[in-house]
Structure 1
Amino acid sequence: MSSTSETGTARPGTGDPFTGLRLPASLLLVVLGLGFTATYWGESWVVAFTQWPVGLVTVAVIVAPRRWAPVPIVLGGLVGWWTMSLSEVRPLTAVGFGVSVAAQALVGSVVLRWRGRGRPWLRSQGDLARWLVAGTLGPLLGVLALAGFVAAAGVQPGPSRSMLVVLATAFSQLLLVLPFLRLDRATLRVTDPERWAQWIAVLLATSAVFTLQDEVAWAFTLVPLLAWGALRLTLTDMIAQLFVVSVAVLTFASLGVGPYSVSLREGTAVHDSTVLHLFLVSAVLLVVPYTLVAQLFRERSAEAHRERELVGRIMDSATRTAIIGTDRDGRITLFNVGAELLLGYDAREMLGQTPASFVPRSELHAQAEAVGTAPEFHRIARALTKRSSEPRDWRMRRRSGEMRTHSLTITRMHDQRGEVVGYVCTSEDVTARVQRQDALLAALLSEREAVERLEQADRMKDALVSTVSHELRTPLTSVLGYATMLADGDLGDLPPLVAQTLDRIINNGERLRSLVEDLLVLSRVNAGQLDLASEPLDLRDVVRSAYDVVAPQLETRALDVRVTLGESKALVEGDAGMLERVVLNLLTNALKFTPDGGQVDVSVKLEAEEAVLEVSDTGLGIPLEEQDQLFTQFFRSSIAKREAIQGTGLGLSIAHAIIEQHGGVIGATSEPSIGSTFLVVLPRLGVGAR
């Protein structure tokens, strides 16, 4: 089976090469028959020229496949020459007629197929323009070619005969191609009785005018009927009516009946035939454009109606959105279902009103003041749309008197000239959202006040701690000084029981002094006033110094304490006293939390850019869920509380602050009943970043 395109012609190289030529061949046979009849049986050369179907040659070209288009052109020209040579015209005139036919077919087919594929359309104003150009330009060029040959034959055709040939061939080109153009299937919007009434009126008027009357003026009574049909019927109907009227008029004229009867006398034949074809061309040029434009108008009106219905359905379905349209003076022209539901007003009572009906005067004043204009809605809308189309919150009053908050967006409507003709307002009820925002804002303000009170209390606490610590430090120093003098025997020998009691006083006093020192350091940390010295030092020396402090405690403990410091200096820059406090805190904790028989390891290692202090033990450990609180002030693990191990929970937080201020990092890993490892990483002195 051959594959065909949309035009019904065979694709190149497939199927029968002559597929698609049957219709052009049939048309050329019809041209041959009608042309032979017009020239051989015609009673004058006028009849031959006016009744020769030149338009069918153009039709044969446009329905033929493009690659075969030259064939109908040539054959049509040959048929025109042969049939015209049968009449009384001179041979060169017959040749000119054949050339004229071929030229008109060529020009008409090129114009109709311009930038198109397949059979031409007649459905737009561009198609209409091509049809008009093809029906007028082709005959003009054809007549010019014919006139040249006639002049060469020594005959002067004269302007009247030239006009007749132009009108006759234009009529043939314009009318005969119409049934072969592709038309849109327009929907008929009239009732069958009206359609048949128009048809019957046209037929009766044609019969009456062209058989009973001899006055040319009566022929124009047919024009209103054709205009009625062009306005109401489809293009297909009107093309059919044109054919019926044209055939009837030409038949009556050839029979010598009616106002356009063609006289057999040579003197009046040209005039009568010219008037006849002028009427027919006028009818075609009236009906076809008028019908097509009316059809396009109906289609666009129907499309616009469908769009309006769609927009209406969309607006009516937007029950949670108020859509309000106004004219340029602010009078309401649209009030959708959503506006009715959200505001409680009926659309019919709101049309012609202004938004001031539901916008309080105070709100209009507030919005007008914000944009610097008068408190009238259309002036506010004009000012807002000049700036931006961002939504703004408006307070609106429902019919019940309840005040609601709407997020309102206003946009302009323009006409075709770009002038503002009105405004479209779309809004949503955001009262609940505004209430939530207000509640959230109130909660935030309350929380902010609470935070400020807490910060004030914290500052008061820090001030109290600092003051109390300073006030305790002086008397505590005196107490420990005198107690030490008594213990050393500076004031005489003491009984054993008194000496033992005095040792307890000194030990607890030292604990109290350590607590006071921690509190003083903590207050400086919280105040951001922890001033550290900055000097080069060997981290190993810091560890040795701290170890010497805790060494006396090891004499009464059964612990395996190992200190590994390495051979190379671990040079860092910092405050020796504060770093010793860190190491001392880590050693003291390791000793406190490691039972007798356990092991404590202290080491200093050097990495590429860091000095690393590691303190590990095989003590009680820290629960995993509590490890992220290790460096929090006053934190003590649940194991420390259960085992009643003394401590304030300040040492590690102070150590963390000190190490951070040295540009280092402190961290820990621990497992209950296995032990803990603390790492302190400090930047090495004199080693640049890689």
Structure 2
Amino acid sequence: MWKSGRGQLSLPLAVVALGAVLGAGVLAIASAPEGAQVAIWWPAGGIGVALLALTPRRWWWWLVPGVLVMTAAANLIEDRPLDLAVWLAVANASEAVVAATFLCWRRQGPPELAGLDAFVRLVVAAVLGGVTMAMIAAAGISALTDGSFVASVRSLALSHAASTLVVLPIVMAPRIHRRRRLVWELPVQLVALAAVTTVVFASGQDRSLEFLALPFLIWAALRFDVAILAWELAAFSVVVILASSQGRGPFGFDLERGQLSPLGLGAVLQAFVVVTTLMALPLAIGIEQNRRLLSRLSGSEKLTSATLDTTAALILVTDLYGEVVRVNDATTALTGYAEADLVGKDIWDMPFAPPGSTGYPAGLPVEVDAQASRETDLIPAGGGRLRVMWNTSYVLDERERPTYLVITGTDLTAERTAAGLTRHLLEAAVTTAMIGIDPRGLVTLFNTGAVNLLGYDAQDRVGTSFIDLLDPEEVERRCHGETGEAAFQQLVAEIGSAGVTKPRDWSWIASDGRRHTVSMTLSIAADTFAARIGYLCVGRDVTEARASQEMLIAALEKERLSVQRMKDLDEAKNEFVSTVSHELRTPVTSIVGYTEMLEDGSLVEPAPEQLPLLASIARNGQRLILLCDDLLTLSGIDSGAARWERNAVDLSTILAGAEDALRAQLAGRDLEVVVMAADEPIPVVGDRVQLERALTNLLSNAIKFTEDGGRIEVSARIQDGEACLTVSDTGIGVPVDEQDGLFERFFRSSTAQERAIQGTGLGLSIVAAIVATHGGRIDVRSAHLEGTTFTIRLPLARG
């Protein structure tokens, strides 16, 4: 009903327990052997102790009288005298108060039977309660009846102590833990115990076989929980006492033969119950305590293993003789050696120890509660070298005696490397000044670069004001008249969210009074938790750079003026060429016109010897007109004054027109000209006249630079989404190293000059300008004496 021992009874359960006191008392008296003055067993006593132990003290004022009343009622129901019933009820109530008070001393409820100390408390409480009840009840029995005081004390003490020892473990036992073996083993054990008990305490069985049940109770103590054993002990005790009181079994046989009196039988039975309980119950408690301890140790071991294996530091555990008994995962990961390579070996024989090392890495602590620390190198299995900080300390037992040694190692390689790199950078920065400053503006670090720049001794500058290094007039002007620490606070106030100021030029004053222009930044120096611990000033001497910049700016300004003058000259040249070309074209046109009139005899019939002269004048005049047209075209392109049309043009239709225009140049020449027109239209957007001019210039060059017997091909096609116009010849070609200047004005190849081929060198530059104006490009493929191929590529017109 109240099986827990881990909480107090509710009011309804307390009332039910009072009823159980009455019922158990009636049953005990009714089962007493004939002629017995008292019951040989009194379970109501144990129930009364449990009732008070499991209820609050503030309830005892009515529970104690309740126990007294219920016990008296049980005695009266069985026709005992009123005075004796009351006397026995007082004794039972006193027993319950004494035993419950001892059990619950300085605690809420009885202790849990999880340890032998709780069992000892239970035994003492049972003895105290039994003795208290026996002394009071025996006095009443001897006073009111003719019963023996000594015999009553012996019987009642054992009876009530046994009752408490049997009933109380049921409520004090720990909670049952469900185990798989209970599914089959517990029923087997219960059946075996019941069978043996039935055989031993059967009617007519007179052999002393009562010990046969003990192995099965020991079985329960070894294999099951304390609570299960407590119930089995209670049930076994009830069966033994009831059977024996009815004359069954070895104890009942002795009673029937008269070898035992009823009081003697009670004493023997209670002694048997007490001895059985004292044998089985401590064993079960010890095993339960051991089970819990092992579970706790297993949990602690798992926790320790998880802690060790998740710790980034190296951890090695050795015994007091130096043999390694445990390593964590970090040790195997950092050293590269498996656990099997380390465990079982002496600590001074570790494979990762540097050559020549002996003993513990950090030595041994001087005192058992102290530590030993030291930095050493570590050689991993994969090679290289790590820097490790080792700490050695003892593990002490509960008596403060050392049992193990724990060696922890922290990898400081990255930290030492970073520190060394920082130190190296500070010392190696011979041209960059790095100055550490505390929050008050005092210098804490003055590196080699600052010493080389300003000429101060580093130790002399530490502790002085950083502001003293700057030009005071410049500081006062830029810091709104502030000086000293207030001026420094103005400087650090410019540090932005990025933690650094923008580079700014300042005048620094050296030890010899010279001024240096320094590009300076200030940044925040913070610790791991972002607490500001100071500032770092980084300065670079830019005195020469700023002077060079000023010189460069002056040179650039001169260059800009020169470029502007050249641009002006170029514009004047273009204007001059345009003007001269206009002015020159008019008289040349007149000369050519009059020459043609003289040639055809419109004025007078020329003499035969004059005709070659007139033809020469006309030919050279035409050359001058073409030159003027070329110059005017280039001048218009340069000045942007040329206005070309933007119409749809079929590129394939301009081939025939170009061939007709050059027919005069082909007169008297032995050249094969092949025109390959496209089968489909080649639409482009542009100025038809200018495109024809570009093609004419290319064909003119091909005729001019191709010797008789050569071949000229002209083709138009669509290729790779572009309109392509190609002019190819087998002429003298252009040397590869001269092709970079092919489209420059007045360019003449060395081959053309050697062969004295006439030309102005403007044709290809005009072609390139026309193609560029149309958004296209021109490619050339040529070599000396290997012919030339020009390809004009123009974007196709969109449909």
TM-score relative to the length of structure 2: 0.50
**Equivalent position SS for 1:53:** helix
Q: Which residue identity does 1:43 align to in structure 2?
A: E
Post-superposition shift, 1:163? Answer: 1.5
Equivalent pairs counted in the alignment come to 451
Q: Call closer, same or farther: CA 1:314–1:361 in 2, change over 3 Å.
A: closer
Is the 1:321–1:339 Cα contact (8 Å) retained in structure 2? yes
Is the 1:74–1:102 Cα contact (8 Å) retained in structure 2? yes
Question: Which residue does the alignment assign to 2:414?
Answer: 432
Does 1:271 pair with 2:264? yes
Post-superposition shift, 1:308? Answer: 0.7
1:630, 1:417 → 2: CA distance? 69
Q: Call closer, same or farther: CA 1:114–1:248 in 2, change over 3 Å.
A: same
Q: Call closer, same or farther: CA 1:82–1:438 in 2, change over 3 Å.
A: closer
Partner residue of 1:244 out of 235, 239, 254: 235
Question: Which residue does the alignment assign to 1:302?
Answer: 295
1:188, 1:361 → 2: CA distance? 53
Q: Which residue identity does 1:392 align to in structure 2?
A: R
Q: Call closer, same or farther: CA 1:46–1:32 in 2, change over 3 Å.
A: closer
Q: Call closer, same or farther: CA 1:403–1:94 in 2, change over 3 Å.
A: same
Post-superposition shift, 1:64? Answer: 5.2
Q: Call closer, same or farther: CA 1:395–1:43 in 2, change over 3 Å.
A: same
The 5 Å alignment of 1:546-557 reads none
Is the 1:260–1:272 Cα contact (8 Å) retained in structure 2? yes
Is the 2:332–2:338 Cα contact (8 Å) retained in structure 1? yes
Post-superposition shift, 1:252? Answer: 2.1
Q: Which residue identity does 1:425 align to in structure 2?
A: I
Post-superposition shift, 1:410? Answer: 1.6
Deviations 1:378-413 (A, max 9, x none): 8x6324676953643221222234332222222212
Post-superposition shift, 1:221? Answer: 3.1
Question: Which residue does the alignment assign to 1:522?
Answer: none
Q: Call closer, same or farther: CA 1:289–1:431 in 2, change over 3 Å.
A: same
Question: Which residue does the alignment assign to 1:168?
Answer: 159
Question: Which residue does the alignment assign to 1:7?
Answer: 8
**Equivalent position SS for 1:416:** coil
Q: Call closer, same or farther: CA 1:175–1:441 in 2, change over 3 Å.
A: same
The 5 Å alignment of 1:53-72 reads 53-63=44-54, 66-72=57-63
Q: Which residue identity does 1:433 align to in structure 2?
A: E
Q: Call closer, same or farther: CA 1:349–1:189 in 2, change over 3 Å.
A: farther
Deviations 1:180-210 (A, max 9, x none): 4473343437453333333233223222333
Unaligned runs of 5+ in 2: 1-5, 433-446, 462-472, 474-502, 519-799
Is the 2:21–2:45 Cα contact (8 Å) retained in structure 1? no
Is the 1:21–1:64 Cα contact (8 Å) retained in structure 2? yes
Post-superposition shift, 1:159? Answer: 3.5
Deviations 1:119-165 (A, max 9, x none): 76444555434422321101101111123223434746254442222
Question: Which residue does the alignment assign to 1:389?
Answer: 371
Post-superposition shift, 1:20? Answer: 5.5
Question: Which residue does the alignment assign to 2:595?
Answer: none
Deviations 1:564-616 (A, max 9, x none): xxxxxxxxxxxxxxxxxxxxxx9xxxxxxxxxxxxxxxxxxxxxxxxxxxxxx
1:130, 1:61 → 2: CA distance? 16
Question: Which residue does the alignment assign to 1:197?
Answer: 188
Q: Which residue identity does 2:403 align to in structure 1?
A: V
Is the 1:80–1:101 Cα contact (8 Å) retained in structure 2? yes
The 5 Å alignment of 1:41-440 reads 42-45=33-36, 48-51=39-42, 53-63=44-54, 66-81=57-72, 83-84=74-75, 93-117=84-108, 121-125=112-116, 127-153=118-144, 155=146, 157=148, 159-181=150-172, 183-188=174-179, 190=181, 192-211=183-202, 214-216=206-208, 218-261=209-252, 263=255, 265=258, 268-318=261-311, 320-355=312-347, 356-360=349-353, 362=355, 364=357, 375-377=358-360, 381-383=363-365, 389=371, 391-440=373-422
1:36, 1:154 → 2: CA distance? 17
Is the 2:332–2:339 Cα contact (8 Å) retained in structure 1? yes
Post-superposition shift, 1:449? Answer: 12
Post-superposition shift, 1:61? Answer: 3.6
Q: Which residue identity does 1:7 align to in structure 2?
A: Q
1:111, 1:31 → 2: CA distance? 23
2:68, 2:364 → 1: CA distance? 70
**Equivalent position SS for 2:399:** coil
Question: Which residue does the alignment assign to 2:683?
Answer: none
Bigger Cα displacement from structure 2, 90-99 vs 201-210:
90-99
The 5 Å alignment of 1:575-594 reads none
Post-superposition shift, 1:291? Answer: 1.9
Q: Which residue identity does 2:296 align to in structure 1?
A: E
2:224, 2:69 → 1: CA distance? 40
Q: Call closer, same or farther: CA 1:427–1:384 in 2, change over 3 Å.
A: farther
Unaligned runs of 5+ in 1: 11-18, 365-374, 461-525, 527-585, 587-624, 639-690
Q: Call closer, same or farther: CA 1:344–1:43 in 2, change over 3 Å.
A: same
Is the 2:22–2:74 Cα contact (8 Å) retained in structure 1? no
Post-superposition shift, 1:332? Answer: 0.9
2:188, 2:13 → 1: CA distance? 39
2:46, 2:266 → 1: CA distance? 18
Is the 2:335–2:380 Cα contact (8 Å) retained in structure 1? yes
TM-score relative to the length of structure 1: 0.57
Partner residue of 2:20 out of 24, 27, 34: 27
**Equivalent position SS for 1:177:** helix
Is the 1:413–1:421 Cα contact (8 Å) retained in structure 2? yes
Post-superposition shift, 1:85? Answer: 6.0
Q: Call closer, same or farther: CA 1:635–1:7 in 2, change over 3 Å.
A: same
1:31, 1:71 → 2: CA distance? 20
Q: Call closer, same or farther: CA 1:197–1:394 in 2, change over 3 Å.
A: farther
1:65, 1:347 → 2: CA distance? 57
Is the 2:378–2:387 Cα contact (8 Å) retained in structure 1? yes
Q: What is the percent sequence identity of the aligned residues? A: 19
**Equivalent position SS for 2:179:** coil
**Equivalent position SS for 2:48:** helix
Post-superposition shift, 1:346? Answer: 1.3
